[in-house]
Amino acid sequence: MEEKINRFEINRYSSEFKHLICKEHIEQGTSLSELKRKYQLSSHSLIHDWLRKLKYLPEKYRFERKVIEIGIQNDTQAAMPILPPTNQKYDCEKEEVNSEIIRLKKELEDAKILAEGYRRMIEITEQEYKISIQKKPNTK
């Protein structure tokens, strides 16, 4: 008599197996597509999910997915905007976002200054050595 296989049991992997694959990717640099082929996994995004859930990725690459199921019984809920909670955790997250914005603005300003320095350096070099470094507009 044939044994019935639950399709959900096929895709369940042990914690050791997940860690093995994640370590191989991080330590040996094996690509996700190579690991997918080697271990006959359904997709490389499965490995990426393991990397994130098992905290192999740096904090900035980790995020939790928020899933909202929409059905007949809750279709009015989907139309309503989701408001952030007004608690201390939200305020803390807001401060982190603001500090990240400030940091990024500083980085952008530094990059602009660096680009301007390179532009001036190229101009001076072109004038002193009488060579064309920059591509002129409308040339082919």
Delimit the domains of the chain by residue range: 13-62, 83-140
Q: CB of 25 within 8 A of CB of 51?
A: yes
pLDDT of residue 92: 72
**pLDDT, tens digit (0-9, with 9 covering 90-100), for 5-48:** 444 444 578 889 988 888 888 888 888 888 888 888 888 788 88
pLDDT of residue 81: 56
d(CA 46, CA 32): 9
Tell me the pTM. Answer: 0.38
Q: CB of 64 within 8 A of CB of 53?
A: no
pLDDT of residue 8: 43
Q: CB of 22 within 8 A of CB of 54?
A: yes
Average pLDDT, rounded, for the chain: 75
Q: How far from 74 is each of 18, 66, 67, 68, 80, CA to CA, in Å? A: 36, 16, 14, 10, 11
**pLDDT, tens digit (0-9, with 9 covering 90-100), for 88-111:** 666 677 888 888 999 999 999 999
**pLDDT, tens digit (0-9, with 9 covering 90-100), for 60-93:** 555 555 566 655 554 455 455 555 555 566 667 7
The amino acid occupying position 81 is P
Helix axes 15-28, 44-53, angle to 10 degrees: 100
Length of the chain: 140
- The CA-based angle 115-117-119, given to 5 degrees, is 70
pLDDT of residue 103: 92
